[in-house]
Amino acid sequence: MDLFTIIKKERLAGYLDSVVFGGFGAYLSQWAEDNHLDKLAILGKEYSSAPKAYRPQLLDAIERELQNSKITPLVEIGNPISQTVPVSALSAPLVSLKGIGEKRAQLFAKLGVNRVSDLLELYPRDYRDRRKLTRICDAQLGETITIRGLIVSCDLVRARRSGMAILSCIVKDDSGSISAVWFNQPFLQKKLQAGRQIQIYGRVEQRYGQPDLIVMEYQMGEEMDASLGLIPVYPATEGLSQKAIRSAIELAWKKVHAQVQPVLPSVLLQKRSLMEHVQALEIVHFPQDLSQLEAARRSLVYEELIQVQLAILLNTPGRNKVQRPPCDDQQLLADFTAALSFPLTAAQQRVIHEIYADMSADSVMARLVQGDVGSGKTIVAAAAIVKCCRQGRQAALMAPTEILARQHAANLSPLLNQLGLRTALLTGRTTAAERNQIVQQLRSGDLDCLIGTHALIQQGVEFHNMGLAITDEQHRFGVAQRAKLRGAEQTDVLIMSATPIPRTLAMTLYADLHISVIDELPPGRRPVKTYAVGYSYEQRIYRFIDKEISQGRQAYVVCPLVEDSDIADLNSATRVYENLSRNVFPQRRVSLLHGRMKAAEKEQDMQDFRDGNCDILVATTVIEVGVDVPNATVMLICDAERFGLAQLHQLRGRIGRGAAQSYCILLHNARSQVAQSRMRIITSTTDGFRLAEADLEQRGAGEIFGQRQHGLPELRIANVFRDAALLEPARQDAIAITQGQMDMPPILQKRVDKLLSLMT
């Protein structure tokens, strides 16, 4: 049977990811990996995790890719439904483990676990210290404890208001008794028979004036002894209990641990006092004591960090040498500042000096400029452009959206023209005739600076002598795009980011870059006032918005749409829009903006808002990036608890751009402590770096930009905060490896290749 036939079957079966044992997507990606077809491997993974509605499209893409690959996709899976041919027990699909059926395998796939080896690298996110049993008489309110005793009685009651089932079990040991409580699990009553031994792990809480033990986990029979100790807590998904994950890992470990290969060169293990991969794996999954566990964790963290560093280093060519004509920076700066209508802030001056120093050195520049929204990055970019052109070369400035590109052109062209530079704007909407002219002028050197969108990196756009490539709001770009814009070998690269990235993380993500920070806002800004309120305030907020509009102001209403694929969320923006336009603000001009709209429509909406022809813009996070509407003074963010801090901060940066006081209102439903504390932090500070650090601590790196945006896969075990101390050594060792001073074991190579294939 060949893969095309299997694809046909998958279609016929209704895109259930079921036509191959263990999942079609998982199967395909494994096969593709073995054949070094990276793109197909990714498509396969996406296929498994995609909502069904997207699978037909994905399957088309897979088929096309397969045809393009020109590999004869003959695969030996005789009867695909009943039989698989494992490559090795380690890389075999999960269902090869006894006791793991297809259904469970699908749940694991949600955690990114498709193969047995993935299971071993599903690292615990925490541990429960259950090394000792607590006597019931020693139970203290607020503590999480493990007790063991006899069940005396077990009663099922229904909560009066909610109707929730509450199981209440009296358990006694020789010191006393306590009532243990299970919520929503009435079916357990049969199992919890009086007279049986039980071990319970739970939290002691006050209910109706007496301490109860709220059960988090329980064991009976021979499971009891096995679950004492340091118990790992794994990343979970609905339908997959900790118990199920633990037992799957145990199964996998027993079956395949002998096949686990070393990841790091042994010299490194000695140099950094690290454990062998297999030993570290065993300890993180089955720890005996804390110090050993810490050492094992450290080893795996190091492995992960060095992989990431290697991927970054290999993904970025070394600094090229460049010849530069002499240039009088002092004179240049004097001319530049004279052309501005305001003095530069001290931070802007400092960063421009850093950039100028790079642009005078004999190797090319690679610098990231971070500055909060409104800190004035555009002017800094302009300063770099001017220097580049004075050195007789051309500059390119690329923005992630049409709107932003136009905005930049509108702001920068007059300034640059005044300094004698010739600029042009090239976007997807530039007419063919105009484009031709621009391309020609660019090639002949009659243009000094080109501003634009992705249209800039399309084929056929060639520079006569490209000296500087600037990407604005780079977190919207993939790594691949960045590399492409880098273009010629002699090109200086400057990346502007409004996402404040904590230094530790920046080092991980941009190991190849120098970093400058604009840590000061231009004078005279009025900080946005931020309030977090519950939904009972909704009507009051609408009245407030109405009042602002009466005074000639405009408002944003933002709804969560974190991923494009989130259909349910899209409805929420539409719903809010309909409610506001029909019921709440029938007299006002309300419009809707979301990522699924055609680019031209989006732009029209944005333009209307900018021109003041719209009072309320209901939008998803598409408005997050760079748009400047000084007359907008209110931003209402719905379901605010669903956004990351950095994202809330970015959104908030859209207002407070004019002279009037601006207000950001976070309408939220935050019940959990973490969500509540997020609301507290965002309302109490406007310091983007503080927020980013808090975000990183709470939610991990992927959340700061959204997984795809920073172009790196999520870290599995390392935490750039906690493990900051290991970053630098990992980086040094990675450099040594890329310079050939140390061997790269094949398995490390393979892992780095995989990371590289994901870094797009």
Residues engaged in binding Mg ion (CB under 5 A): 626
Rounded to an integer, what distance in angstroms lies between the CA atom of residue 44 and that of residue 32?
A: 8
Q: What residue is closest to Mg ion based on CB? A: 626
Least Å from the CB of residue 378 to ligand ADP: 3
Rounded to an integer, what distance in angstroms lies between the CA atom of residue 511 and that of residue 165?
A: 53
Phi, then psi, of 662 in degrees rounded to 5: -115, 155
- Between strands 394-398 and 449-452, the pairing is parallel
Least Å from the CB of residue 185 to Mg ion: 53
E strand or H helix that includes residue 331: helix 329-339
In the complex with ligand ADP, the residue whose CB is nearer, 186 or 374, is: 374
In the complex with Mg ion, the residue whose CB is nearer, 496 or 618, is: 496
Least Å from the CB of residue 653 to ligand ADP: 7
Q: Which does 100 bind (CB under 5 to 8 A by kind): ligand ADP, Mg ion, none?
A: none
Rounded to an integer, what distance in angstroms lies between the CA atom of residue 445 and that of residue 215?
A: 73
Rounded to an integer, what distance in angstroms lies between the CA atom of residue 504 and that of residue 728?
A: 10
In the complex with ligand ADP, the residue whose CB is nearer, 287 or 371, is: 371
Least Å from the CB of residue 461 to Mg ion: 23
E strand or H helix that includes residue 451: strand 449-452
Secondary structure of residue 41 in the 3-state scheme: helix
Q: Which of 311, 315, 279, 321 is closest to 297 using CA atoms? A: 279
Q: Which does 344 bind (CB under 5 to 8 A by kind): ligand ADP, Mg ion, none?
A: ligand ADP
Least Å from the CB of residue 82 to ligand ADP: 59
In the complex with ligand ADP, the residue whose CB is nearer, 307 or 375, is: 375
- HSE at residue 331, side-chain half, CA atoms within 13 A, is 5
Q: What residue is closest to ligand ADP based on CB? A: 376
Q: Which of 499, 590, 510 is closest to 542 using CA atoms? A: 590
In the complex with ligand ADP, the residue whose CB is nearer, 344 or 634, is: 344
The secondary structure of the chain in percent helix, strand, coil, rounded to multiples of 5, reads 45, 20, 35
Q: Which does 522 bind (CB under 5 to 8 A by kind): Mg ion, ligand ADP, none?
A: ligand ADP
- Between strands 466-472 and 210-219, the pairing is unpaired
Q: Which does 400 bind (CB under 5 to 8 A by kind): ligand ADP, Mg ion, none?
A: none
Least Å from the CB of residue 626 to Mg ion: 5
Least Å from the CB of residue 467 to Mg ion: 22
In the complex with ligand ADP, the residue whose CB is nearer, 213 or 494, is: 494
Q: Which does 710 bind (CB under 5 to 8 A by kind): ligand ADP, Mg ion, none?
A: none
In the complex with Mg ion, the residue whose CB is nearer, 452 or 626, is: 626
Q: Which does 371 bind (CB under 5 to 8 A by kind): Mg ion, ligand ADP, none?
A: ligand ADP
Residues of this chain that bind ligand ADP (CB under 6 A): 342, 344-345, 348, 371, 373-379, 498, 522
Q: Which does 66 bind (CB under 5 to 8 A by kind): Mg ion, ligand ADP, none?
A: none
**How many other C-beta atoms are found inside a 10 Å radius of the C-beta of residue 345?**
19
Least Å from the CB of residue 381 to ligand ADP: 8
Q: Which of 333, 345, 358 is closest to 468 using CA atoms? A: 358
Least Å from the CB of residue 407 to Mg ion: 8
In the complex with Mg ion, the residue whose CB is nearer, 212 or 472, is: 472
Residue 720 in tokens: 């750039």
Q: Which does 662 bind (CB under 5 to 8 A by kind): ligand ADP, Mg ion, none?
A: none
In the complex with ligand ADP, the residue whose CB is nearer, 264 or 646, is: 646
Least Å from the CB of residue 472 to ligand ADP: 7
Rounded to an integer, what distance in angstroms lies between the CA atom of residue 109 and that of residue 29?
A: 12
Q: Which does 651 bind (CB under 5 to 8 A by kind): ligand ADP, Mg ion, none?
A: none
Least Å from the CB of residue 518 to ligand ADP: 7
Angle at 568 (CA atoms; ends 652, 614), nearest 5 degrees: 45
Q: Which does 397 bind (CB under 5 to 8 A by kind): ligand ADP, Mg ion, none?
A: none
State which amino acid sits at residue 34: D
Query: Could you tell me which residues come within 8 angstroms of residue 549 by beta carbon, excluding any fewer than 6 positions away?
Result: 555, 588, 615, 616
Answer yes or no: are the C-beta atoms of 709 and 621 closer than 8 Å: no
Query: Strands, E, within 615-736: which ranges?
Result: 616-619, 632-637, 663-667
In the complex with Mg ion, the residue whose CB is nearer, 66 or 404, is: 404
State which amino acid sits at residue 472: D
- Between strands 366-371 and 492-497, the pairing is parallel
Least Å from the CB of residue 655 to ligand ADP: 13
CA 534 to each of CA 557, 651, 665, 682: distance values in angstroms, whole numbers, following the listed order: 16, 19, 10, 15
Q: Which does 345 bind (CB under 5 to 8 A by kind): ligand ADP, Mg ion, none?
A: ligand ADP
In the complex with ligand ADP, the residue whose CB is nearer, 380 or 755, is: 380
- HSE at residue 462, side-chain half, CA atoms within 13 A, is 5
Q: Which does 379 bind (CB under 5 to 8 A by kind): ligand ADP, Mg ion, none?
A: ligand ADP
In the complex with ligand ADP, the residue whose CB is nearer, 524 or 586, is: 524
Rounded to an integer, what distance in angstroms lies between the CA atom of residue 333 and that of residue 188?
A: 76
**How many other C-beta atoms are found inside a 10 Å radius of the C-beta of residue 351?**
26
